[in-house]
A and B are shown apart, each in its own frame.
Chain A
Amino acid sequence: MNALEIVNFTKRYDNAVAVDNISFSVREGEFFGFLGPNGAGKTTTINCITGISNPSGGSIRIFGHDVVEDYREARKCVGLSPQEFNVDIFESPRALLFYIAGYFGIPRSERKRRVQEVLLKFELLPHADKPFRALSGGLKRRVMIARALIHDPKFLILDEPTAGVDVELRRDLWRYFQEMNKGGKTILLTSHYLEEVERLCDRIAIIHHGKIVAIGDKKDFIGGGKNLEEKYLELTAYKP
């Protein structure tokens, strides 16, 4: 079964078409790169997958569950680490994770154990009781990823997860992502760091002006003496 199945998906805002009739799928267990320039439609697509936006047309299924009709089951399968810090900035990471775990139906008794586990994994324990706004950019990013994982979803969406973090943390995060993928999680990653995508992803899709302009295995993008960045610039018709 595919982790994500998008068929003829369109998103319109008034008269503007943000995503134009795209179809693609992400296989279970895959590390999938979803690339495109700013405003190409990546985050809009992610928003519609996760319920933050309503699709204008087409269908989106997560592990067979339609994100509109069967939204409860679809949401349980997904964890989202968004580009922006969309949290209550006065709340501590511990409280944030505790309640988000509750949102996903995890009983109180199990939540404490799960929160402790995730805080430990992302080295957040020393900062667990500080307000979110008092954390550094890197720690905030780790909290976002911890929040996405707190209900142990099968499908993880990482929207620019390493934006604004230092080299050391970026490498730590890459290691976490690879471990999670090896542990069976399907991952969809968007990033402007093409080195990151090249290192982590098995398959890649490129969206440009709301349309998928290329999709295939990583080797399809890096063959012929070109690296991913060169191929990407060619596909998005970049002219210096």
Chain B
Amino acid sequence: MNPIGLLAFIERHTLILFRVPIQTVFTPLITAVLYIFVFGKIVGERIGDIMGVPYIDFVLPGLVMMNVVMSSFTDTSSGTYFFRFTRSIEELLTAPFSYGEIIIGIVTRGVVRGLLVGTGVYVLALFFTSASIAHLGFFFLYALAVSIIFSLVGVLVGIFSDHFEHLTILNTFLIVPLTFLGGVFNSITMLPESVQPWVRLNPFFYFVDSFRFAMIGVREANTTTGDTIMGTLIVLLAFTVWYLFKKGYKIKI
């Protein structure tokens, strides 16, 4: 282990977040406030309660999750690509780090950014809703799990991208559609019965549902299935990223 090195890397890498705070923190917060205001307040008041809670409280966990996902993913995808683009990845490769330590360092910043923005959205929501946290421990556990998953996905995208535009492809064509179709704005029971089994195949349904359970105490999915999906994804993604680093795929020359 190289604990001093890892801490130095995490500190250096994380401080970069605050070079551009408008982009990394404030933009998602402002967007989230608009979502909460429009979907929660204006539209929500005409919808009424869902699963025994006001619509805005029902929607908020999904919005928090969306922001954790987007912030973590954007951070590590652009960060990893930047490392490759400037070749500053060589500073890490020539230092006494294991591949695992390099990955931990990169993912940590993604997690920090995800949790920072997620917490910020929650705090801002307090001004518009009766936002609550039913299970604080689960809230942090699920926020951590989801941010790790999407930080690792971001690293993969950062490795495979050959162009700045490639960084947005997965987000635009997969993450955003699956998030919206995963029940951020609606209960699964609001969908036709024939569609519901398909929604249950969408992992984002379980992510949203876990946040909803942690924040408002209600859930529609099976807890074991959701937790298993998250745990499995973390292990599979971490192994894939580690393997690519070991092989040096698009990382080493």
- Name A residues whose Cβ lies closer than 8 Å to a Cβ of B: 44, 47, 50-54, 71-73, 75-76, 78, 80, 82, 84, 86-90, 95, 99-108
Contacts and interface: CB of A to CB of B under 8 A. Distances in A.
Interface string B28-60: 000000000000000000000000000000000
Given A50-B94, A104-B96, 20 more contacts: A51-B93, A52-B93, A52-B252, A53-B253, A75-B96, A76-B96, A78-B94, A80-B94, A86-B87, A86-B88, A87-B88, A99-B12, A100-B95, A101-B8, A102-B4, A102-B5, A102-B8, A102-B11, A103-B9, A103-B97
Contacts of A73: 96
A75 B94 contact: yes
B246 to A, nearest CB: 9
A105 B9 CA distance: 11
Interface in B80-112: 86-88, 90-98
B189 interface: no
| A95, A104, A107: most-surrounded residue (chain B CB, <10 A) | A104
B86 A53 contact: no
B7 interface: yes
A64 B96 CA distance: 16
B139 to A, nearest CB: 33
Interface of B: 2, 4-5, 7-9, 11-12, 16, 19, 86-88, 90-98, 247-248, 252-253
Q: Is the interface of B mostly helix, strand, loop or mixed?
A: helix
A10 B92 CA distance: 23
Contacts of B92: 103
B9 A84 contact: no
B8 A103 contact: yes
Contacts of B247: 54
A82 B91 CA distance: 10
A102 B6 CA distance: 8
B5 A54 contact: no
B96 A86 contact: no
A75 B12 CA distance: 20
23 contacts: A47-B252, A50-B93, A53-B252, A54-B252, A72-B96, A73-B96, A76-B96, A80-B94, A86-B86, A86-B91, A88-B86, A99-B11, A102-B5, A102-B8, A102-B9, A102-B11, A102-B12, A103-B2, A103-B5, A103-B9, A104-B96, A105-B2, A105-B5
Contact of B95 (A75, A84, A86, A95): A75
Contacts of B8: 99, 101-103
Nearest to B95: A103
B81 to A, nearest CB: 13
A181 B7 CA distance: 32
Contacts of B93: 50-52
A106 B253 contact: no
A78 B96 CA distance: 10
Nearest to B16: A88
A82 B92 CA distance: 14
B244 to A, nearest CB: 12
